[in-house]
Structure 1
Amino acid sequence: MTDDERAIRDLVETWMAASKAGDTTTVLSLMSDDAVFMVPGHEPFGKEAFAAASAGQSEFRIEGGGEIRELQVLGDWAYLRSHLDITMIPPVGQRVRRTGWTLTILRKQPDGRWLLTRDANLLTVQPAAAGGAEPPLIPETYQSE
């Protein structure tokens, strides 16, 4: 594994840990100011809208994880294809489980750090299992195939 691949995997692990901890400041520091996010059914949105949405979900707890299935570094650009399985748990009410694929583009900064610059998130809401039990979550691994 190259130093760049390790740095990108570390970014993904930091993002997930910060998301679970509700640390929006850290998550925002891992993306470029011109980051663009794409999710089904919505217009693409940027870092400011991401921050606002995160603030609106500050009382939610996040469980789950993901697995990087492909990671390619091409000079100062990189992309990764991942599968995520995330459950959002509100203080009151039903848990919401989302699973699916993401395609993320990162760019290496002049200081050597990698930042997320584009992200297509194709997660979909999954129905609760029979009897209302929550389906098992995939292990929190970040290993390529």
Structure 2
Amino acid sequence: MGSDERAIREVHEAWIDAVNAGGLDRLLALMADDAAFLIPGEECIGRDGLSAKFSAAHRQLRIRCLSELMEVVVVGEVAYTRSRDSLAVSPRAGGDEDRLAGDRMTIYRKQPDGRWLLARDANVLSPVEG
């Protein structure tokens, strides 16, 4: 495994850790200024849209994400990952837990300082029955 692939794997892990901890500032530090997120059934959102959505979700919900990297491909200054994700989401006020699962594809860009930042993210998570 090369140093770029290792760095991307570390960013992926840091992203999931930040999601689980409700660490919006940590997420923002891992994404490019022009980051875009594709979410099933919604319009594409950028950093500001993700910030608002993430903050609102974490105020109302307990979120636990598990993510297994299935593929990491680096091509010069751009890379993509494919992961299998599962989310467990439960209301902070109490109530039933919902589960979502599916695949996610993320595109990263290498910055002039050598860091890899999330540039695009698309998921096809859907409710898990039963």
Give the structure-2-normalised TM-score. 0.93
* Structure with max Cα Rg: 1
Other-structure match for 1:124: 126
The Cα offsets for residues 40-99 of structure 1, whole Å up to 9 and x where unpaired, read as 111111110000001101232222411111110000000011100111122122212110
- Tell which deviates more after alignment, 92-101 or 113-122: 92-101
Question: What does residue range 10-49 of structure 1 map to in structure 2 within 5 Å?
Answer: 10-49=10-49
Runs of 4+ in 1 over 3 A off after TM superposition: none
Contact 2:37 2:46 in 1 (8 A): yes
Other-structure match for 2:112: 110
Paired residue total: 128
Other-structure match for 2:73: 72
Distance in 2 (CA, whole Å) between partners of 1:58 and 1:81 is 25
1:106–1:41 Cα change, 3 Å:
same
**Given residue 16 of structure 1, which amino acid in structure 2 is its aligned partner?**
I
Structure 1 runs not aligned, ≥5 long? 130-145
Give the structure-1-normalised TM-score. 0.84
Contact 2:19 2:65 in 1 (8 A): no
CA RMSD of aligned residues (A): 1.1
Distance in 2 (CA, whole Å) between partners of 1:14 and 1:26 is 8
1:64–1:52 Cα change, 3 Å:
closer
Distance in 1 (CA, whole Å) between partners of 2:53 and 2:81 is 24
Sequence identity of aligned pairs in percent?
Answer: 43
